[in-house]
Structure 1
Amino acid sequence: MPNRETPPGECPQCWQHAYDKSIHRALAPGEDCAPCISHMVNGCPNRVPKKSWWR
């Protein structure tokens, strides 16, 4: 899959894992993706905050 540019304010890892299905294809049925679990538990470490509409 060609690289899609991550929209402003989105986490590049989350964006890639959401749109590149080949990343999760290698997992066994019922197996969890370690980077996805880490993001769910700890949040996105590289997320850029979005500008709010009032600022």
Structure 2
Amino acid sequence: MVVTVAARPTPPGECPQCWEHAHDRRAHRNLGPGEDCPQCVDHMINGHPYIVPKKASR
């Protein structure tokens, strides 16, 4: 298993996987032209399993 670190930390209110896949080119480097990322497709179908919590507003 290879663990990659996102180029930037995930901001509040965002899904860590979506943030990483949008901002780190290594996430999709093994895909061929026109090939869908299985993790991204799973997110499109099933939604986000975790969202970074936002700070409580005062």
Shorter-chain-normalised TM-score: which range?
A: 0.7 to 0.9
Choose the corresponding residue for 2:51, options 34, 47, 51. Answer: 47
User: Could you say what the CA RMSD is over the residues aligned between the two structures, in angstroms?
Assistant: 2.3
TM-score, L = length of structure 1: 0.77
Residue identity (%): 62
- Structure 2 residue runs of 5 or longer lacking an equivalent are none
Choose the corresponding residue for 2:30, options 26, 31, 34. Answer: 26
Which consecutive aligned stretches of 4+ in structure 1 deviate over 3 angstroms post-superposition? 48-51
- Structure 1 residue runs of 5 or longer lacking an equivalent are none
The count of residues paired between Structure 1 and Structure 2 equals 53
